[in-house]
Amino acid sequence: MKITRDLYQGSLALLTDFYQLTMAYAYWKSGKSEQEAVFNLFFRKNPFQSGFTIAAGLDYVIDYCRNFKFDENDLAYLSEMRKEDGEPTFDPAFIQYLKELDFCCDIDAVEEGSVIFPNTPMIRVKGPLLQCQLLETPMLNIMNFQTLVATKAARITLEAKGDPVLEFGLRRAQGIDGALAASRASYIGGCSSTSNVMAGKLFGIPVSGTHAHSWIMAFESEMAAFEAYADAFPDNCIFLVDTYDTIKGVQNAIRMGELLKEKGKKLLGIRIDSGDLAYYSNVAREMLDEAGFPDAKVVASNDLDEHILSSLKLQEAAIDIWGIGTKLVTAYDQPALGAVYKMAALKDHDGKWVPKVKVSQQSIKINIPGYHNVKRFYKNGKAVSDMIYLENTDLSAQELTIIDPYDPTKRKKISPDQLESKDMLVPIFVKGEKVYTRPLLADIRQKTLSNLEKFDKAHKRLINPHIYPVGLEESLYHLRTNLVLQAKNFN
């Protein structure tokens, strides 16, 4: 088998946990496969102690659902599976059922690039129980990682305060697919470009880069290396100055700048990849300015993250462009988001929806039941709170109360007629048909930036961000409380 090409043989249907398939089989056998259900995908805590999260990955989910099909190879593999007693794991009639399976769910989701918060549904799936169940693992796989990295990228780009952030992560990313998804998510989160050429080709992300220390080391002197690079790329000269001695490197870059000037070309900048970046960037800035290159940019890299970036800004480092790899694409300080996918309602045999809760000793693990949506309220263009509400609730009252799902003493009154509002979930699939027009990636990135603008800076600071209010509409709060009490046999 070719490991890195054609590995999936065109089908992702088996990219799931085995228990999804055994449950699917058992649903089918017990006559429950077509019973209608609602599931929600959500997370319980913002990553990185952030005050917000950026949604990413929906486009992959759309692609997954559109190609939701077990192909001949998948079915052959499943047919060959055996139980301990040597009998086939799956009845041939079930294999035939899978073969004919036609994706027919309704899916609503928050758009990529949305600013989102714990406990609110990112994706809501309604459809036959068996299909809803089969979507769990692949959707979580996709959404958990891309949302995590998009959030990390947004935190970094917010601290960069408009300076370009170049994503350099490919060499340290979690494998091939992890690298591609991370480049995509980093761009959604606000990075300007990627060094990953394949991500550029596949997703249309701008590709950019400088050169490595090995380039310098391949020549007899740093100056000779700069000259050869300028010869090949006279319009794209950003010289890496720290291979031997950063100050001498900047002097050489300035000499090159003068040579380029004589040819009617321009020194774009320098890159510093070691040492005290505040100190060296300022020394380099002064040298470049004095030599008549005020437009030459200083690029910095070397194990940067949002915290070091923020510190460098406070130190007034003269850095214009930030190259960030490892800590961005691996989401270094929190390797997984922890989003979950939980049943919220099931239709009974009389066609009535029954809301469902999973009870837990840990109150944070008790899900929000029912077919619900999220409404975001805005005042003077700024987001003020999110309300999770049951779709059939009458919201025409003058005043609504939202209640914190984990602390009923935390409440907020909302006067809907004095505020603008929008529902966060938008229709993606209706009965298996795609109704959503997928935006261009560059537009999603733009949306992230403009969505973040709508939030007060208190929610965006790195340390102890102010918690954005998200609450349950009162009747949903009571429904949930009663269901939990019922499940615990209190009433």
Ligand X SMILES: O=C(O)c1cccnc1
Amino acid at position 158, single letter: L
Binding track, positions 357-386, relative to ligand X; x by CB under 6 A? ------------------------------
In sequence order, the β-bridge partners of residue 346 are: 37, 354
Distance CA 415, CA 411 (A): 13
Give yes or no for a contact between 118 and 61, defined as CB atoms under 8 angstroms apart.
no
- Which of ligand X, ligand ATP, ligand PRP, none does 195 bind, CB closer than 5 to 8 A by kind? ligand X
Residue 315, phi then psi, degrees to nearest 5: -80, 0
Q: By beta-carbon distance, which residue lies closest to ligand PRP?
A: 325
**Residue for token digits 């998510």?**
185
Helix (H, G, I), strand (E, B) or coil at 64: helix
Q: What angle do CA 131, 75, 108 make, to 5 degrees?
A: 20
State yes or no: residue 32 binds ligand PRP (CB under 6 A). Answer: no
Q: How far is the CB of 170 from ligand X (least distance, A)?
A: 7
Is the CB of 50 or the CB of 210 nearer to ligand X? 210
**Neighbour count for residue 183 (Cβ, 10 Å):** 31
Q: Is 85 helix (H, G, I), strand (E, B) or coil?
A: coil
- State the Cα–Cα distance between residues 280 and 300, nearest whole angstrom: 10
Q: What is the DSSP string of 263-328?
A: TT--EEEEEE-SS-HHHHHHHHHHHHHHTT-TT-EEEE-SS--HHHHHHHHHTT----EEEE-HHH
The window from 161-169, 226-234, 299-307, 392-400 that contacts ligand ATP (CB under 6 A) reads 299-307
> Could you tell me which of 372, 359, 390 has the C-alpha nearest to residue 486?
359
Q: Which is nearer to ligand ATP, 227 or 276 (CB)?
A: 276
Site string for ligand X, 100-139 (x = CB under 6 A): ----------------------------------------
How far is it, in rounded angstroms, from Cα 108 to Cα 424? 9
d(CA 8, CA 64): 13
The one of ligand PRP, ligand ATP, ligand X, none whose footprint includes residue 172, by CB under 5 to 8 A per kind, is ligand PRP
Which two tokens mark 267? Answer: 């020194």
Residue with tokens 């709170």: 385
Rounded to the nearest whole angstrom, what is the least distance from the CB of residue 272 to ligand X in the complex? 11
Judged by CB under 6 A, does residue 325 bind ligand X? yes
273 binds ligand PRP (CB under 6 A): yes
Query: Should residue 315 be labelled a site residue for ligand ATP when binding is judged by CB under 6 A?
Result: yes
Q: Examine residue 174 and tell whether it contacts ligand PRP (CB under 6 A).
A: no
Interaction pattern, residues 204-243, with ligand X; x per rule: CB under 6 A: -----xx---------------------------------
How far apart are alpha carbons 365 and 467 in whole angstroms? 19
| Residue closer to ligand ATP (CB basis): 213 or 265 | 213
Selected from 49, 67, 311, 363, the binder of ligand ATP by CB under 6 A is 311
Residue 315's binding partner among ligand ATP, ligand PRP, ligand X, none (Cβ under 5 to 8 angstroms by kind) is: ligand ATP
Is 164 a binding residue for ligand X by CB under 6 A? The answer is: no
The span from the CA of 387 to the CA of 124, in Å, is 16
Q: Nearer to ligand X by C-beta: 172 or 313?
A: 172
Point out which residues bind ligand X (CB under 6 A): 168, 195, 209-210, 301, 323, 325
Chain positions contacting ligand PRP, by CB under 6 A: 168, 171-172, 273, 301-304, 323-327
| Residue ranges in contact with ligand ATP by CB under 6 A | 274-278, 302-304, 308, 311-312, 315
